[in-house]
Copies of this chain bind each other. A is one copy, B any other.
Amino acid sequence: MQVYNVSAYIVPATDAHMSEYIAEQDARLAWMTGFTGSAGTGVVTLDKATLWTDSRYWIQAERQMDCSWELQKTVWIHSIGEWILQEVPAGKNIGLDPFLFSIDNWESYCQALQNSGRNLIPIETNLVDLVWDAQKPPPPTHSIYALSDEFTGNTWQNKVSDIRTQMEKHSKSPTAVLLSGLEETAWLFNLRGDDIPYNPVFYSYALLTKSNISLFLNQSRLTQDALQSLTAGCPGPLCVHLEDYNQVKAHLENYVQGDIRIWIGTEYTTYGLFRVIPEEKRLQESYSPVMTTKAVKNTKEQGLLKAAHVRDAVAVIQYLLWLEKNVPLGSVNEFSGARYVNQLRQKMDHWRGPSFETISASGLNAALAHYSPSNVSSRKLSVDEMYLTDSGGQYLDGTTDITRTVHWGAPTPFQKEAYTRVLMGNIELSRLVFPSGTSGRMIEAFARQTLWKVGLNYGHGTGHGIGNFLSVHEWPVGFQSNNVPLTTGMFTSIEPGYYQDGEFGIRIEDVALVVETQTEHKVGDKPFLTFEVVSLVPYDRNLIDVRLLSAEQIQYLNSYYETIRHRVGPELQRRQLQEEYEWMRSLRGAVPDPLSSSTAPYSEVQTH
């Protein structure tokens, strides 16, 4: 820091692609602080070291960091800025690695420090790496492979042509698109890798112009097939020029000398690359055309993602039946449960791994929305507690993500009411009809109103996009203010919940496809849309208070169960899972079972 003349240095928990999960080589904050949580920011001054992280991680951070680190229990850049203003005198500099900060984050820090006499200095040499040095984990070496045609929605050449058409049609006449999100290059070129946990992507950048394609990556890691696929069209406009990953900045510096305009996605491009492009040569939008095109799955991609969800449903149904048999024996804990559901998925065709760290939480642990069990501290599952499991798989045809909450004993009336209201919220949003182009933000509250009505709510988002063998949290689809409007072909999760501190947690999460629907009347040219739920796993009848449901909700539920029987049934039979097949067919959504009252426990319902 003294060499670079900075009095404070800011270290974030992300990589140069704003990835949600990061590789070991990018875990600078964890190496420096000892704290391994996924979110946080460290600031080092010449005599202090402080970590900011959110409430999920306070206990973990206190435990993992030694006394040279101080913990700040906020996350706002504004409050980090205030701390810096206290600790760093005016006239001094604050440094950061511009390749680890998005344009937005850079601007937030600038704003926090503006007119204070302190300067924010981008330093392209990462100071943590200088110290980490030889101990730093090496870059990944796994191969980067081409996805076979059966698992892609289109050839990469057609995708490139589509993006080029969008460039030509754009009123601001961009000459190039810069891709810096790892999902962007993976999707565009139909390539996958294993550089990042849970997400099958690889370190890369791309610069796509009207006549040229430059792909920046470690070329030696490409399989023969992948190399063949990328270079088959050489020379020509559909020839991919392979360049070293580290050359992206130099290449960009050269390219911006010309009469050009580069289209960038400001939500995830780093300030390091952004500042290379002169202002008048930028075309700034929140997302690149690759990101927005990828968000709308074509018919083949929709089919692939649905097929992955059918197989995934088989694994989850197997798991739920297994739990029902084994939890009463006292032989299952959160960790062994999580391991088992992943073992079941592993047996499915095209499985490539979990799509995120499995959440398996019993009783009060489920009240922590992001709890994951570990081998050393894992609660035993019991018929006296609610159990929440949120898990997903990576399959070559699609990524899955599903949450079910169950109770094998006698839930309290409040637990049943809360569960039923969460389910009603899920249903109300899932069956909503809305005009094309409606933003998720405008309809999110339909998943909350059934809880709001009685003074309940949940503190997390209502859903996120999901990929075809890509990220489980795929931007820019979802229900937040910075998500794009919903159109046919988008997939999003729908996941309302309710969390009672210290007692229990409920979440019901399905993945749904945005589809066109026929309405009785119709105003305007734009189609009306609704959701088709593609997660096909029964809910827990033991937790549903049917008396709270409207006739339409009951109808919806029964029809959903019919869809499960129709679509997952054949797959269960194909795999000769006869017991699971019978069990699944015995489950009912809302129709009170003729042989049992509406308060009959789950275990009775499955006996026939």
A contact set with B: CB distance below 8 Å: 82, 114-115, 171, 279-280, 414, 432-435, 438, 441-446, 449, 452-457, 481, 498, 519-524, 528, 550
Contacts and interface: CB of A to CB of B under 8 A. Distances in A.
4 tightest Cβ-Cβ pairs between the two chains A and B = A455-B519, A115-B280, A455-B522, A454-B520
Given A434-B445, A443-B445, A456 B280 contact: no
A455 B523 CA distance: 6
Contacts of A481: 481
Contacts of A445: 434, 438, 442-443, 445-446
Contact of A452 (B433, B444, B455, B456): B433
A435 B457 CA distance: 8
Given A433-B449, A456-B521, 18 more contacts: A82-B171, A115-B279, A115-B280, A414-B521, A432-B449, A433-B453, A433-B455, A435-B457, A441-B442, A446-B449, A452-B519, A454-B520, A455-B519, A455-B520, A457-B523, A457-B524, A481-B481, A498-B523
Contacts of A279: 115
Given A444-B442, A445-B434, A523 B453 contact: no
A525 to B, nearest CB: 12
A454 B521 contact: yes
Contact of A454 (B442, B446, B456, B519): B519
A435 B452 contact: yes
Given A280-B114, A432-B449, A528 B455 contact: yes
Given A280-B115, A442-B441, A521 B455 contact: yes
Contact of A442 (B442, B453, B498, B524): B442
Contacts of A457: 435, 523-524
Contacts of A114: 280
Contacts of A434: 445, 449, 452
Contacts of A452: 432-435, 519, 528
25 contacts: A82-B171, A114-B280, A115-B279, A414-B521, A432-B449, A435-B457, A438-B445, A441-B441, A442-B442, A442-B444, A442-B445, A445-B446, A446-B446, A454-B519, A454-B520, A454-B521, A455-B519, A455-B523, A456-B519, A456-B521, A456-B522, A456-B523, A457-B524, A481-B481, A498-B523
A371 to B, nearest CB: 19
Contacts of A444: 442
Contacts of A523: 455-457, 498
Contacts of A455: 433, 519-523, 528
A172 to B, nearest CB: 10
A483 to B, nearest CB: 13
Nearest to A414: B521
Contacts of A522: 455-456
A415 B414 CA distance: 43
Contacts of A115: 279-280
Contacts of A433: 449, 452-453, 455
A198 to B, nearest CB: 31
Nearest to A443: B445
Contacts of A443: 445
A439 to B, nearest CB: 9
A522 B457 CA distance: 9
Nearest to A278: B115
A447 to B, nearest CB: 11
Contacts of A82: 171
Chain B CB within 10 A, most for which of A435, A454, A523 = A523
Nearest to A552: B550
A374 B249 CA distance: 65
Contacts of A456: 519, 521-523
Nearest to A282: B115
A207 to B, nearest CB: 21
Contact of A453 (B441, B498, B519, B550): B519
A453 B443 CA distance: 13
A446 to B, nearest CB: 7
Contacts of A432: 449, 452
Contacts of A519: 452-456
Nearest to A434: B452
A441 B481 CA distance: 10
A208 B486 CA distance: 45
A434 B453 CA distance: 7
Nearest to A432: B449
A520 B417 CA distance: 11
Nearest to A114: B280
A47 to B, nearest CB: 25
Chain B CB within 10 A, most for which of A443, A522, A524 = A443
A244 to B, nearest CB: 32
A397 B54 CA distance: 48
Nearest to A428: B449
Contacts of A438: 445
Contacts of A442: 441-442, 444-445
Nearest to A517: B455
A191 to B, nearest CB: 35
A517 to B, nearest CB: 9
A438 B438 CA distance: 19
Nearest to A453: B433
Nearest to A448: B434
A449 B498 CA distance: 24
Contacts of A280: 114-115
A487 to B, nearest CB: 15
A111 to B, nearest CB: 10
A445 B529 CA distance: 14
